[in-house]
Chain A
């Protein structure tokens, strides 16, 4: 019986899309209602982080909203109570950790979000994970998108991450960390496109694997270290296939993707890995319509060091190109 009633309640919502706010909710959305949030700040091992600075603003029907700024206690907790009419944002920082930030919307179409004039669930815990700064190293970083012109289509061309350029004779690069091949076909409509970008590796133990970035809101969005035991693929192809009206396939990197690379490998006489460099390509690997390579990468120049945590105060490629996340 209860399940039947639940079904009847849910069905109108599902059949007719997102529900409208109730009168009480609408009043709260317009003029605000009291919200209580319990911030619980932990590290990646679930240990509380004391004296973390939690600051932000609760959106409100005023010019300045409702800002807040407080430190967590020994349990990593702080409680914020403010009037709020829409959403709140937060940023958590502490020396020795990467900042984590985020935003939460208080109105939820899936349940009644106001009770007794207060946002529900009142006192909900917002668990925020702070990631430590472990051992950031200076890297060759192309953050503002190294944009070398693609010398040619449909052939493999080597790219050197240490110089952010194609290898000779196409550029000034000396050692190919990977090879790129790009093919694009355009139909009668300029949005009828099929393109394939292949990244390939020639050294036996060079390769790449693909990951999703951390979505917790931390500035540290990738793994700290490359997995030296992972399976590194020798080729990886990205496909974009669409008509004027619809995208059929798009496997190119999104801002939430990254690649981990192992390059410049050398083996001993038994085929064991002797030397390698590690790198990551984050969120962008594409060819523009002007045929330029658009790429954001971090290359660790230290041999046999799988560390992928970049020192954000240094850029061995271009000292003036900073502002990148770790």
Chain B
């Protein structure tokens, strides 16, 4: 018995499906001494023995069930697989005596876990007599394809990536579809290939949690430049919004949208700016300032404010870039240069699934540097860093407005002399002066006119306007504002099992991308909840 002995990992279990062999009657009719053999004739498949019953066949996905493997004493992840010997066409493999004995003792048993490795996979159960002549056989009808044939795909990138495919998927599991549509949009720093992996995982996880909605995988250009270019990609998010809205809005039927991280900027803007109508919107680890949804979290306190750059300590809040908008009233476009209340229209449909353990959104108790967290964990405090580095002209930051200081020299030369030499000087400047000569860096020029186009406003927000709140992805807004759910405290499996131990760097926190990176075995509650709350079943 050869084939693929490598055991599946917990991450692979999604690709296995249970098959129950109803063989008790046949085993009673042909006891062991009859010499009759029970075997598979198959190709492109591998199997794991289990002692599960048909009623608990799906248990392996969510619980440790040490009833797998040839001796039925191993967990599914880790139990060796078996398959016919490799060769042309289908080959045979006999079912083990131990497995058949299980079935004979309990007809509800006889569950195998099966994985396909070829689109030409086939499976036939044969009962043969001692002379090798067939007594009976039954074929399992299989329709096998790559997972990407099971859902639609929309590519919002300007170039590269898998081509958009919005016709009926070649192998969609739509036999009992509920007619609904669920869309998923990934976050920042996800390239075209990784986007395919993201969507494949999200589709599989939703499906195993019972979703019967048609799945639409999407990708956008949120990976321009390097991993330090968050702000530029936040601007990209705004730029792609109309295109996203056109695609999603053009689909008929009920629409439920899921977005991860910076993908939420796209979706939130689509709902707010383009009137995209969705029935439900799940914000997953949203990398959008919390003040966009609830301005009560906007923090302009001068003390104890970890979103205030420490070089601005002592400067009155009226001198900050983030509050400059208060000096103006509509229709002056500068009145809109704020993240506050940027996306209020999202509230009636949004579900904020955040994580109190999210390392990207964690706020340090003082001013971080670019290396806070260490060179192997630059992602730690990333939200705080990217907001505090706006205007500073350093890696991970921008040269726009933000927490940079206005210099006497033109921006193109940026000499070192600050216009207002210290906080006292800045605080004593009349308001009218600050309108024309703000304390913060006067760049880009488009920011300093009373007519700022909306596209420019979005770019300014992304690159030059620091948020004064944490990310929505770590914020509990409260039940009266939005439906919240903390994945870190509520989303893990029962009994405290987790794929990361207390001794590891991030201990047992639910991290920013754990909804994908952690095996479904650990995060299934999240997907169950999305399916349930979203009405996807």
Contact = CB atoms under 8 A, between A and B. Distances in A.
A200 B502 CA distance: 42
B505 A64 contact: yes
Given A57-B503, A63-B505, 17 more contacts: A16-B313, A17-B302, A17-B303, A17-B314, A18-B306, A18-B365, A19-B366, A56-B503, A57-B507, A61-B375, A63-B376, A65-B505, A86-B374, A109-B365, A190-B348, A242-B480, A289-B483
B418 interface: no
Given A67-B504, A89-B502, A30 B478 contact: no
Contacts of B371: 30
> Which among B366, B482, B490 has the greatest number of chain A C-beta atoms within 10 A?
B366
A246 interface: yes
A89 B507 CA distance: 8
B483 A190 contact: no
Interface in B366-407: 366-367, 369, 371-377
A203 interface: no
9 contacts: A15-B314, A29-B369, A57-B503, A61-B374, A62-B374, A68-B503, A252-B479, A289-B482, A290-B483
Contacts of A191: 294-296, 344, 347, 481
Interface in A272-312: 286-290, 294
Interface string A221-249: 00000000000000000001010111100
Interface stretch (B183-191, B450-458, B491-499): B491-499
Q: Name the prevailing secondary structure of the A interface residues.
A: loop
B478 A250 contact: yes
A21 B366 CA distance: 9
Given A85-B374, A289-B348, A323-B493, A18 B503 contact: no
Contacts of A202: none
Contacts of B373: 86
Contacts of B496: 323
Interface centre among B367, B479, B483 (most CB of A within 10 A): B479
B374 A30 contact: yes
Interface centre among A17, A59, A63, A89 (most CB of B within 10 A): A17
B168 interface: no
Given A57-B507, A289-B348, A109 B366 contact: yes
B392 to A, nearest CB: 15
Interface residues on A, range: 35 or more
- 5 closest cross-chain pairs (CB), A and B: A323-B494, A61-B374, A322-B494, A286-B479, A67-B503
B295 A245 contact: yes
Nearest to B490: A144
Nearest to B373: A86
A86 B367 CA distance: 13
B479 A247 contact: no
Contacts of A60: 374
Contacts of B375: 61
B304 interface: yes
B243 interface: no
Interface in A176-231: 184, 189-191, 193, 195
A18 B296 contact: no
B235 interface: no
A245 B296 contact: yes
Interface string B204-224: 000000000000000000000
A55 interface: yes
Given A17-B308, A85-B374, A323-B494, A57 B481 contact: no
B305 interface: yes
B502 A91 contact: yes
Nearest to B485: A145
Interface in B333-380: 341, 344, 347-348, 365-367, 369, 371-377
B106 interface: no
A189 B244 CA distance: 28
A25 to B, nearest CB: 10
B451 to A, nearest CB: 26
A323 B492 contact: yes
A20 interface: yes
Contacts of B367: 18, 20
B480 A286 contact: yes
A255 B478 CA distance: 11
Contacts of A85: 374
A101 interface: yes
Contact of B507 (A63, A91, A287): A91
A216 B420 CA distance: 47
Contact of A193 (B305, B480, B502): B480
Contacts of B478: 240, 250, 252
Given A17-B313, A288-B479, A323-B495, A244 B341 contact: yes
A19 B304 CA distance: 10
Interface string B453-491: 000000000000000000000000011111100000110
B502 A55 contact: yes
A190 B347 contact: yes
Contact of B502 (A56, A250, A287, A289): A56
A297 to B, nearest CB: 15
A21 B505 CA distance: 23
B28 interface: no
A19 B341 CA distance: 31
B505 A59 contact: yes
Given A26-B369, A61-B374, A244 B295 contact: yes
Contacts of B344: 189-191
A296 B194 CA distance: 39
B310 interface: yes
Nearest to B528: A144
A294 B479 contact: yes
Interface in B286-319: 294-296, 298, 302-306, 308, 310, 313-314
A69 interface: yes
B503 A55 contact: yes
A107 interface: yes
A105 interface: yes
A33 to B, nearest CB: 13
A184 B490 CA distance: 27
Nearest to A13: B313
Contacts of B303: 17
B503 A59 contact: no
A126 B314 CA distance: 35
Nearest to A194: B480
A102 B199 CA distance: 35
Contact of B504 (A64, A144, A250, A294): A64
A67 B506 CA distance: 11
Contacts of B302: 17
Nearest to A323: B494
Contacts of B505: 57, 59, 63-65
Interface string A135-150: 0000000001000000
A22 B496 CA distance: 40
B290 to A, nearest CB: 13
Contacts of A109: 365-366
Contacts of B480: 184, 193, 195, 240, 242, 286, 289
Contacts of B374: 30, 59-62, 85-86
Contacts of A240: 478, 480
A190 B479 CA distance: 13
A59 B509 CA distance: 14
A275 B310 CA distance: 61
Contacts of B294: 191
Given A17-B305, A105-B365, A288 B483 contact: yes
